[in-house]
Amino acid sequence: MKRKTGGSTGQVRILGGSLRGSLLRVADLPGLRPTPSRVRETLFNWLQPTIAGARCLDLFAGTGALGMEALSRGAAQTTFVERDVAAASALRANLERLQQTGGTVHRADALTYLAGEARPFDVVFLDPPFADDAWSDVAARLDAGGWLAAGAIIHVESPAERVPVLPSSWQLHRERRAGQVRHALYRRAEGDPLN
């Protein structure tokens, strides 16, 4: 789950697409860390040619801002995986309030979820809590477990000073730093390169 340092109940604004300007209600959880709006804006500019009709997986969903932004911009479906009860409940409430039938919430730890029956996703958002250091384990399960479609795109957020060890089949396509965050777009080797 994405975490920041403290704070009260808040909201995250959808930046583009059919839900542009809509507010996501955020559970009041210590340390919840939504993906910054400038990172989301850059990410979805990068994904613009591929997001329509995509099957997306938002692991460590937290506020669900990435997965909801994907739905807003034309993704066919988004699966949200979140271990915290309150955050998962807030995600379900936001999906219902915004009438997003393409979203499904699974309250589970990411590694537990990935131990289940796999189905391939086109786009995966991988942003674990930085203190958990879960990038390599989760990436290995995604890569080996049948969770990634041919040519799948994976967005990885990590601390600015840290580049996680990822499967060799993940090719770096783009990366940027925003404050203390490094965000990068990878493509699984199978399939055509991103345009």
Query: pLDDT tens, 74-133?
Result: 999 999 999 999 999 999 999 999 999 999 999 999 999 999 999 999 999 998 887 777
For residues 78 and 39, the answer to whether their CB atoms sit within 8 Å is: no
- In order, the DSSP letters of 144-186 are HTT-EEEEEEEEEEEETT------TTEEEEEEEEETTEEEEEE
Q: How far apart are the first and last CA of the chain?
A: 31
Average pLDDT estimate for 167-173: 94
Between 11 and 5, the more confident residue is 11
Number of H helices and number of E strands within the chain?
Answer: 5, 9
Domain boundaries, the chain: 10-188
What are φ and ψ of residue 150, in 5° steps?
-55, 130
Look at residue 92 in the predicted model and tell me its pLDDT. Answer: 95
List the CATH code of the domain at 10-188: 3.40.50.150
**The predicted structure's pLDDT at residue 190:** 65
pLDDT > 50? residue 3: no
Secondary structure class of 99 (helix, strand, coil): coil
Amino acid at 166: L
The contacts of residue 68 (CB under 8 Å, 6+ apart) are 14, 19, 24, 78, 94, 95, 98, 100, 103
pTM of this prediction? 0.88
Phi-psi region of 146 (alpha: psi -120 to 50; beta: other; left: phi over 0): left
21-75 tens-digit pLDDT: 999 988 777 666 678 788 999 999 999 999 999 999 999 998 899 999 999 999 9
CA distance 53 to 75: 5
Question: What pLDDT does residue 6 have?
Answer: 36
Q: How confident is the model at residue 167 (pLDDT cuts 50, 70, 90)?
A: very high
> Pick from 195, 187, 63: which is nearest to 127 by CA?
63
